[in-house]
């Protein structure tokens, strides 16, 4: 994983990259995408007299086309299949994180690009990904 500030931008812009190349010896036993990537580009800064820390950015996940394992709900297990390839599309998330002392809050819109193309999005063959979803959460640690 690589995390660095972009050289042409102020230090408040960050880029995290995680690229993987995987090639199993026997693709009839273990099937994986040849290439996967995770990239996060975000702006971080302190606001309101440095009392509020905030991050605003986008996450991008991608994997190449491959024959993923299918799922059998009756047995609760995955099995090899040769019918449907999945992958070869980007999965975008938009996010905002905030922190004030021990209080944390986040807003996230997952799968921002859902519905932009006619192609279905799958993580497992025959089980489509959820469409665009808005999520939020809080965490507040209390100390004695």
Read off the pLDDT of residues 91-108 as tens digits, 9 standing for 90 and up. 899 999 999 888 999 999
Note whether 128 and 120 are within 8 A (CB): yes
Give the confidence band of 5 by pLDDT, cuts at 50, 70, 90. very low
Give the confidence band of 119 by pLDDT, cuts at 50, 70, 90. low
Cα–Cα distance, 11 to 17 (Å, whole number)? 16
Q: Which two tokens stand for residue 122?
A: 């799958």
Cα–Cα distance, 6 to 12 (Å, whole number)? 9
Q: Domain spans of the chain? A: 2-140
Cβ-proximal residues to 108 (8 Å cutoff; 6+ apart), any chain: 93, 94, 95, 96, 134, 135, 136
**Model pTM above 0.95:** no
Cα–Cα distance, 55 to 114 (Å, whole number)? 23
């Amino acid at each position: 994983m690589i995390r660095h500030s972009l050289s042409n931008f102020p230090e408040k812009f960050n880029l995290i990259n995680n690229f993987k190349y995987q090639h199993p010896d026997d693709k009839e036993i273990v099937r994986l995408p040849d290439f996967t990537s995770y990239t996060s580009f975000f702006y971080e800064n302190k606001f309101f007299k440095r009392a509020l820390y905030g991050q605003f950015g986008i996450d991008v996940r991608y994997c190449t086309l491959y024959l993923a394992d299918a799922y059998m709900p009756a047995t609760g297990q995955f099995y090899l299949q040769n019918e449907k390839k999945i992958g070869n599309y980007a999965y975008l998330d938009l996010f905002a994180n905030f922190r004030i002392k021990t209080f944390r809050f986040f807003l996230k819109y997952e799968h921002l690009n859902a519905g932009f193309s006619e192609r279905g999005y799958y993580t497992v063959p025959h089980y489509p990904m959820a469409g665009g979803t808005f999520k939020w959460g809080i965490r507040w640690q209390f100390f004695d």
